[in-house]
């Protein structure tokens, strides 16, 4: 499939950020140019997920967007496991379905709310930059639901934008991140536009707050396995 370049915020935006058709069309490009070391973090996520998948295993990807990660996992599978992507954005799932059709994939896509989805017992659950868009109280409830849905020793692998506990350092990291985005071809105007669109939509925690939420939700451990400034990937074990 031809990848479209993200130019959404080059024009004036008068609404909060949402995963609509315009975003879905450029989402793969947006991720790789907006999230530092995105591909490396996803390769690490993929490897950890594959290590837990055996014959008959079940994996969920919450907020699967255009299903790129699921397709990469499916390509590397050495067993008959079920991969299910869940997203509440119809636009994202439509783009994902086109990809799956091209690759004759057996991945299942479900349009639904991850807060109320009827989970079956799973071995792996993945969530990439999804929890941060869920309100804090509901986020904590979801973590408890996911812990209940996993088999013992199951893995919850998730990536999130995080904030620093030290406010001055947090500002420095944000400035470094904006420099990164400029290096990827985003203008100062695009960066500020997106920041305003995400205001009160994306609510990040510190790395410590994420791990505390995970442990309080029923997981026995939670570790940061990858971090670049204010982006982190975690693995929690049931």
In 3-state terms the chain splits into helix, strand, coil percentages (rounded to 5) of 45, 20, 30
Which pLDDT score is estimated for 20? 65
Asked whether 235 and 48 are in contact (CB, 8 A), the reply is yes
Cα–Cα distance measured from residue 198 to residue 193, given in angstroms and rounded to the nearest whole number: 9
Check whether 65 has a pLDDT greater than 60: yes
Provide the mean pLDDT of the chain.
90
Which pLDDT score is estimated for 31? 80
Average pLDDT on 38-50 reads 96
Asked whether 223 and 234 are in contact (CB, 8 A), the reply is yes
Q: How confident is the model at residue 28 (pLDDT cuts 50, 70, 90)?
A: confident
Cβ neighbours around 136 below 10 Å, total: 12
Q: Which domains does the chain have, with CATH numbers?
A: 16-237 (3.40.50.150)
116 or 193, greater pLDDT: 116
Which pLDDT score is estimated for 6? 55
Quote the radius of gyration of the chain (alpha carbons, Å). Answer: 17
Placement of tokens 């975003």 in the chain? 23
Asked whether 53 and 81 are in contact (CB, 8 A), the reply is yes
Instruction: Output the pTM of the full model.
Output: 0.90
Residue 31: CA count within 13 A, CB half-sphere: 22
Cβ neighbours around 205 below 10 Å, total: 19
Of the candidates 34, 86, 23, 36, which has an alpha carbon nearest to the alpha carbon of residue 58? Answer: 86
Please give the share of the chain, as a percent, with pLDDT higher than 90.
Answer: 75
């Amino acid at each position: 499939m031809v990848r479209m370049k993200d130019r959404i915020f080059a024009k004036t935006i008068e609404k909060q950020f949402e995963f609509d058709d315009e975003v879905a069309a450029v989402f793969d490009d947006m991720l790789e140019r907006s999230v530092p070391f995105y591909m490396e973090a996803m390769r690490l996520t993929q490897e950890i997920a594959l290590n837990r998948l055996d014959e008959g295993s079940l994996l969920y990807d919450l907020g699967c967007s255009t299903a790129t990660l699921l397709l990469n996992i499916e390509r590397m599978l050495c067993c008959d496991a079920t991969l299910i992507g869940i997203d509440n954005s119809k636009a994202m799932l439509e783009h994902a379905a086109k990809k799956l059709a091209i690759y004759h994939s057996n991945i299942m896509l479900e349009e639904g709310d991850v807060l109320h989805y009827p989970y079956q017992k799973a071995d792996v659950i993945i969530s990439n930059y999804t929890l941060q868009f869920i309100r804090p109280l509901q986020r904590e409830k979801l973590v408890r639901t996911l812990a209940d849905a996993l088999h013992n020793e199951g893995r919850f692998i998730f990536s999130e934008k995080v904030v620093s506990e030290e406010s001055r350092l947090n500002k420095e990291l944000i400035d470094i991140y904006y420099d990164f985005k400029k290096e990827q071809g985003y203008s100062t105007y695009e960066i500020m536009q997106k920041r305003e669109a995400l205001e009160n939509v994306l609510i990040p925690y510190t790395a410590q707050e994420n791990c505390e939420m995970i442990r309080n939700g029923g997981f026995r451990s939670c570790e940061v396995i990858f971090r670049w400034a204010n982006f982190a990937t975690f693995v929690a074990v049931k």
